[in-house]
Amino acid sequence: MIVLPILLLASILMLFMNSGAEIAFFSLGYRELKNLRIRQYPASTRILQLLQEPRLLMSSMLVGNMVFRMLIILLCNYLVKDDMLPETTGFLLFLIRMLIAIVILVLFGELLPKVWASNNHIRFAYYSSFFVWLNAIMFRRLGQWTAGITDNIEKSLGRNNDLRTRLEQIDQAMGLGEADGSSEEEKNILKGIAQFGNITVRRAMRSRLDVQGVEAGIPFSALKQKVADQQYSRFPVFNENLDNIAGMIHAKDLIPHLDKADDFDWKSLIRPAFFIHEQMLVEDLLKDFQQKRTHFAIVVDEFGGTDGIITMEDILEEIVGEIRDEYDDEESVNMRIDDFNFIFEGKMMINEACKLMKLPNRVFDAIRGDSETVAGLVLELTGEIPQLNQELVAKDFTFTVLEVAMNRIHKIKITIAAPQQ
């Protein structure tokens, strides 16, 4: 029968792809996943969909591997007939059958796929995505069952404390509390607290383009005018450019010297700057702020250049949302036109935009790459500086560029596709 050899080859192929995919899929890093979201190929879409439920994916892979290994052993025993080796005794024939099965299992189920996947996990993930998707369909129920057993064991051991579980618990708790008047803002604050330990400085900081610095060589009168115009309490002081930070000047330190002449040496008031890396967690930065009794830090990139600044207010906004005071420009407030149309500043953080639109924080993950702002998302979609009034359609969203100047997007309109009746 030709059916059984074909079934054996299919089992070997599925085992090969599944075994390598165990390494390939779970070796994909943050940037690689972001690139997959941008490319929008069928394979990349399958990979992202499968990784949305990593526990179920791993469980279905393990169940599939076990089933295919058993099939290979049974088929090898059945297909190696007694008449193929007429002079071989029963026990020796059994050993030959087992040896063939073991060679196939070790070679095609362990060594070859895992070595290939380890050396080139992205390419292997692309090649194996269809087979892993097929495996997930066939063994979804068994995978859910085994994943459920694993979850119960972890709960009994007190290890079920991952971020996704905490967010699900918050959703359940807030859902139960809706009858008592719990608002969407309260729910977002609780989610912000749950996610706080995973937020990096890069996500919360103000970019270099938004930094209002003071050049060390300006006269005292110009400094006073700068402080009066900008209404900030702290300013980075630089020599020549922002990559050469000399320190930080506090507005309150100027108060005793406001009557001094223009030649006053205000540089004696400069305080040491606090430098941090962009990949630092804001949770750790908050502790540093408390220990150093400061609310202001200069963010540097991997090359030591100034990437931006971060303040205590920026950290708090990651929990409670945007904080506005009497000095904030009211004209720059992001607008809600109706339930499906919104206008945002280009520098608006994507997660903040999602909060204002009352959408899940990860709603743009399918189309975004490394961008953190709405303008960055548009630039990723176009691949170039967009033209004024240019429209971009991605998934259920239409992005319209309303204001662009000096190679910078200042204002964007986002239109959400209305649900079909």
Residue-wise pLDDT tens digits, 256-302: 998 888 888 899 999 999 999 888 888 888 889 989 888 899 999 87
- Tally of CB atoms within 10 A around 404: 20
State the Cα–Cα distance between residues 362 and 227, nearest whole angstrom: 38
57 pLDDT higher than 60: yes
Which of 117-131, 169-183, 249-263, 366-380 has the lowest average pLDDT?
Answer: 169-183
Top-level CATH class of 330-416?
alpha beta
Residues 6+ apart with CB under 8 A from 207: 307, 308, 347, 373
Which of 73-82, 100-109, 376-385 has the lowest average pLDDT?
Answer: 73-82
pLDDT, residue 176, reads 47
40 pLDDT higher than 90: no
CB 17 within 8 A of CB 133: no
CB 270 within 8 A of CB 246: yes
Is the CATH number of domain 201-320 3.10.580.10?
yes
Q: Span 190-204, mean pLDDT?
A: 72
Q: How far is CA 295 from the centre of its chain?
A: 26
Give a three-class secondary structure readout of the chain.
CCHHHHHHHHHHHHHHHHHHHHHHHHCCCHHHHHHHHHHCCHHHHHHHHHHCCHHHHHHHHHHHHHHHHHHHHHHHHHHCCHHHCCCCCHHHHHHHHHHHHHHHHHHHHHHHHHHHHHHCHHHHHHHHHHHHHHHHHHCHHHHHHHHHHHHHHHHHHCCCCCHHHHHHHHHHHHHHHHHHCCCHHHHHHHHHHHHHHHCEHHHHCEEHHHCCCEECCCCHHHHHHHHHHHCCCEEEEECCCCCCEEEEEEHHHHHHHCCCCCCCCHHHHCECCCEEECCCEHHHHHHHHHHHCCCEEEEECCCCCEEEEEEHHHHHHHHHCCCCCCCCCHHHCCEECCCCEEEEECCCEHHHHHHHHCCCCCCCCCCCCCCCEHHHHHHHHHCCCCCCCCEEEECCEEEEEEEEECCEEEEEEEEECCCCC
Percentage, residues of the chain above pLDDT 90: 20
185 pLDDT higher than 50: yes
Residues in the chain: 421
pLDDT, residue 145, reads 87
Confidence band for 150, pLDDT divided at 50, 70 and 90 = confident
Residue with the bigger pLDDT between 188 and 330: it is 188
193 pLDDT higher than 50: yes
pLDDT, residue 328, reads 54
318 pLDDT higher than 80: no
State the Cα–Cα distance between residues 416 and 339, nearest whole angstrom: 8
Q: Which two tokens stand for residue 329?
A: 């420009």
pLDDT, residue 42, reads 83
pLDDT tens, residue by residue, 338-393: 888 999 988 888 877 888 888 877 788 777 777 778 888 888 888 888 888 888 88
pLDDT, residue 132, reads 92
- Burial class of residue 383 (count of CB atoms within 10 Å of its CB; 0-12, 13-18, 19+): exposed
Pick from 25, 12, 9: nearest CA to 132: 25
Confidence band for 323, pLDDT divided at 50, 70 and 90 = low
Tell me which amino acid residue 254 is. L
Q: How far is CA 18 from the centre of its chain?
A: 25
pTM: 0.49
Label residues 73-110 b or e (16+ Cβ within 10 Å = b).
Answer: bebbeeebeeeeeeeeeeeebeeebeebbeebbeebbe
Long-range contact pairs involving 267-274 (C-beta distance under 8 Å, separation at least 24) = 267/216, 267/237, 270/216, 270/237, 270/246, 271/247, 272/247, 272/248, 273/236, 273/245, 273/246, 273/247, 273/248, 273/298, 274/248, 274/298
